[in-house]
């Protein structure tokens, strides 16, 4: 494609986009748009933010953990997930409900304050929300409009009046100046505050229009207070009044000067979403418009009018989102004005009052919030704040996503071995968990709560997984307590997830692990070594100073717990790579066994899936399973007991194959123990062979063993992403600790 052809295509594409997105309209054209899309155009800031949430949709709650729902805008789908927010579904839901409440009451009257420990994603949530608004404003459903004042040149006008020019024709149809080119325009004044175009209409006439549109849209259609009773900004009001007087009350002539423009929310250009850092200054002020060539070309009646324009953070954020980052780091005197501004949506400036349409949000860590609660002004602010708690994550499955995202975006000096980020995530989450108070739970659940170890609690949060060997009735009862567990709060106000290792600290640990000279991979062992070093720095990290609560709050002890979990996972990887029996295969064997037992109990034949013929239940299969189970009763009695327990469980609800482990925990424990004992010598032998190949000693093996070792290493790499170095490190640790000789 030639350069000329390329530019022609670009120009044509942009021109088409400009027209289809309706970037510039006359007031009459915009009024037609409002009539056609009343719900999209008659929105205030809270309705717009709620619609932004709804535009991206949400995922249902996780039935296993009870977590959710999750709002997809926090996955940053418009930017391939860059800087997404991992987890925090309860905070997302709380934020949405507050915004929805503002939308239903048609105005914002409080500041939403996200609070939590440092590094818990408060600022990330608000930044993602701002980026979502940017993306939404570029969609058809998110179109936003403001207006400017247009004053044509002498070529367009005819006779001069006190106003400046009596316009004979505006555009080709003699109506609006909105479509005039720059060469035909002497002066253009953007509407300050990005006022909604309909505010030009007097209130009583707006009410008439809104009543008509509401009848078409239905009773649930609510007009925001900012449009129903709002007024133009002071400067726009001045211009409108002068034009109205000069045209002797002819509104049509006034509206010719209105150019309605679509605008797009932009964080970079501070349009509709603004972040205020905790510096000490007033967030808005006014200044007089300076006399440039364009303003000198204004009609005479406006040249004699002193025009002021507001500026500042509040002005830039109008019709959108204003975030106060670390709000409570400011001196309280510097944001006392927010008491009235949030409640009344107005701010008083030196010579005018601005009416605002903004969702006010802020963030604060717990230290500053607790100090603020002791201040004498706290009661005044309390009624004007909506608090949203944002704790550290307590699901290591989600926490791992944070570190995996970092690995993808950062260029670490060394490759990352399997399970390295999981090791970091699990240890971080364990440091955040608190010993539960059994007295807060139903009587029959108290023993289960009291017996929970930190690792079992972490598994419960991550997967909704009850401890191994727990009967199904107790497992269901325990899972039903997840909501109470996660929301448990101490008498002093401390809550779980308020303390512990932060993601920022763990990201630093991963980067430090990549620089350790004693490891040439970011491996689980390298991460654990770095965590051990971190645990020695008790003067730097507050969570290392806490008093131990039984097995809880034991950061150094958690290193061994996490190492044990890593060895479990590595054993499973190796077993699968070797093609030996896996937990899934054990599940399948038990299902087959139970199927044959049930048919035998009913005296029925069973379909052979291979031959398609009806055959007697497999007696050999049943005897071998019962041998591994080392049953201490007659086989028929044992089989009747199994079927009876399945029947009892089915009375409480449908029994799925995935429930069998909870119905028969001891059975599965025995089965896996028996199979594992038989496999242990084979695992040790093949693991040693793989180590020999990795060490360059494969020639000492016979051809069959050498070929099998290489095939196993290939599967370990293809299926589980082990390279030679990480495989060697993992195999050495497994053979030494899980498969020792003898």
Both structure tokens of 186: 């002497």
Chain centre to alpha carbon of residue 351: 42
* Tokens representing residue 33 in the block: 């748009």
Mean pLDDT, rounded, of the chain:
84
pLDDT at 419 over 80: yes
Which candidate, 227, 197, 201, places its Cα nearest to that of 214? 227
Domains along the chain with CATH numbers? 57-138+264-281+316-390 (3.40.50.300), 396-487+497-570 (no CATH), 583-737 (no CATH)
Give the whole-angstrom CA distance, residue 96 versus residue 458. Answer: 27
How many other C-beta atoms are found inside a 10 Å radius of the C-beta of residue 341?
Answer: 24
Weakest mean pLDDT among 110-124, 287-301, 312-326: 287-301
Q: Is the pLDDT of residue 319 over 60?
A: yes
What single-letter DSSP state applies at residue 548?
P
Residue-wise pLDDT tens digits, 168-177: 334 444 578 8
Give the containing element (helix H, strand E) for 149: strand 144-152
Give the mean pLDDT of 566-588: 87
**What span, in angstroms and rounded, lies between the C-alpha atoms of 455 and 81?**
30
Name which of 277, 288, 337 is nearest 313 in CA terms: 277
Query: What pLDDT is recorded for position 10?
Result: 72
Structure-model confidence comparison of residues 112 and 230, the more confident one: 112
Cα radius of gyration rounded to whole Å, the chain: 34
Answer for the pair 284, 310: CB distance below 8 angstroms, yes or no: yes
For 266-286, write each residue's pLDDT tens digit: 988 888 888 888 765 546 555
* pTM of structure: 0.84
More confident residue, 108 or 612: 108
CA distance 688 to 707: 14
Q: Are 578 and 683 in contact (CB under 8 A)?
A: yes
Q: Which tens digits make up the pLDDT trace of 626-675?
A: 888 888 788 888 888 888 888 877 877 777 777 787 788 778 878 888 88
Residue 725, pLDDT above cutoff 90: yes
What digits encode the pLDDT tens for the residues 58-101? 988 877 777 778 999 999 999 888 889 998 999 999 999 999 99
**CB 581, CB 679: distance < 8 Å:** yes
pLDDT of amino acid 294: 53
Six-digit token string for 240: 């409108």
CB distance 513 to 527 below 8 Å:
yes
């Amino acid at each position: 494609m030639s350069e000329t052809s390329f530019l022609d295509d670009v120009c044509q594409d942009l021109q088409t986009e400009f027209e289809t997105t309706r970037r510039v309209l006359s007031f009459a054209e915009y009024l037609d748009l409002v009539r056609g899309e009343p719900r999209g155009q008659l929105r205030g800031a809270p309705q717009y933010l709620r619609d932004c949430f709804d535009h991206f949709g949400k995922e249902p709650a996780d039935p296993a953990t009870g977590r959710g729902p999750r709002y997809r805008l926090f996955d940053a789908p418009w930017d391939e997930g860059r800087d997404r927010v991992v987890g925090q579904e309860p905070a997302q839901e709380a934020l949405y409900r507050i915004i929805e409440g503002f939308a239903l009451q048609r105005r914002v009257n409080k500041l939403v304050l996200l609070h939590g420990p440092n590094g818990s994603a408060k600022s990330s949530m608000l930044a993602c929300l701002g980026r979502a608004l940017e993306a939404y404003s570029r969609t058809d459903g998110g179109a936003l409009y403001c207006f400017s004042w247009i004053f044509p040149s002498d070529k367009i006008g005819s006779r001069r009046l006190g106003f400046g020019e009596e316009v004979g024709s505006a555009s080709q149809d003699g109506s609006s100046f909105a479509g005039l080119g720059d060469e035909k325009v002497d002066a253009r004044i953007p509407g300050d505050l990005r006022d909604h175009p309909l505010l030009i209409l007097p209130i009583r006439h707006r009410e008439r229009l809104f009543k008509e549109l509401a009848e078409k849209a239905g009773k649930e259609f609510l007009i925001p207070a900012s449009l129903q009773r709002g007024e133009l900004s002071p400067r726009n009001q001045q211009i409108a009044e002068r034009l109205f007087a000069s045209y002797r009350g002819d509104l049509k002539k006034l509206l010719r000067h209105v150019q309605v423009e679509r605008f797009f929310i932009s964080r970079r250009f501070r349009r509709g979403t603004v972040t205020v850092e905790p510096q000490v200054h007033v967030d808005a002020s006014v200044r007089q418009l300076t006399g440039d060539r364009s303003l000198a070309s204004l009609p005479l009646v406006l040249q004699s009018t002193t025009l002021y324009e507001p500026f500042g953070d509040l002005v830039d954020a109008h019709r959108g989102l204003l975030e106060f980052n670390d709000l409570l780091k400011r001196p309280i005197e510097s944001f006392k004005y927010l008491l009235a501004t949030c409640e009344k949506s107005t701010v008083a400036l030196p010579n005018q009052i601005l009416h605002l349409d903004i969702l006010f949000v802020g963030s604060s860590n717990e230290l500053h919030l607790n100090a603020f609660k002791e201040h004498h002004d706290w009661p005044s602010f309390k009624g004007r704040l909506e608090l949203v708690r944002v704790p550290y994550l307590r699901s290591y499955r989600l926490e791992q996503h944070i570190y995996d995202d970092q690995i993808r975006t950062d260029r670490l000096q060394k490759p990352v071995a399997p399970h390295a980020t999981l090791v970091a995530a699990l240890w971080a989450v364990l440091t955040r968990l608190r010993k539960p108070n059994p007295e807060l739970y139903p009587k029959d659940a108290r023993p289960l709560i009291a017996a929970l170890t930190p690792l079992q609690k972490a598994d419960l949060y991550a997967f909704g997984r009850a401890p191994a060997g727990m009967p199904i009735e107790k497992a269901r009862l325990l899972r039903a307590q997840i909501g109470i567990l996660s929301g448990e709060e101490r008498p002093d106000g401390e809550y779980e997830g308020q303390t512990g290792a932060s993601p920022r600290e763990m990201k630093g640990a991963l980067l430090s692990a990549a620089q350790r000279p004693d490891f040439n991979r970011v491996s689980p062992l390298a991460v654990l070594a770095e965590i051990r070093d971190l645990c020695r720095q008790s003067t730097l990290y507050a969570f290392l100073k806490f008093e131990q609560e039984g097995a809880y709050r034991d950061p150094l002890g958690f290193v061994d717990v996490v190492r044990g979990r890593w060895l479990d996972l590595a054993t499973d990887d190796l077993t699968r790579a070797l093609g030996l029996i896996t937990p899934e295969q054990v599940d399948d064997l038990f299902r087959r066994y139970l199927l044959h037992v049930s048919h035998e109990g009913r005296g029925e034949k069973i379909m052979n899936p291979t031959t398609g013929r009806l055959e007697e239940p497999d007696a050999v299969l049943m005897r071998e399973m019962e041998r591994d189970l080392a049953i201490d009763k007659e086989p028929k009695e044992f089989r009747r007991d199994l079927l009876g327990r399945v029947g009892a469980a089915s009375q409480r609800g449908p029994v799925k194959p995935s429930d069998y482990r909870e119905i028969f925990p001891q059975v599965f424990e025995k089965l896996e123990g028996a199979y594992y004992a038989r496999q242990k010598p084979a695992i040790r032998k093949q693991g040693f062979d793989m180590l020999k190949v990795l060490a360059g000693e494969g020639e000492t093996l016979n051809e069959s063993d050498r070929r099998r070792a290489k095939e196993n290493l290939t599967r370990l790499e293809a299926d589980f992403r082990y390279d030679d170095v990480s495989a060697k490190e993992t195999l050495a640790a497994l053979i030494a600790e899980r498969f020792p000789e003898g």
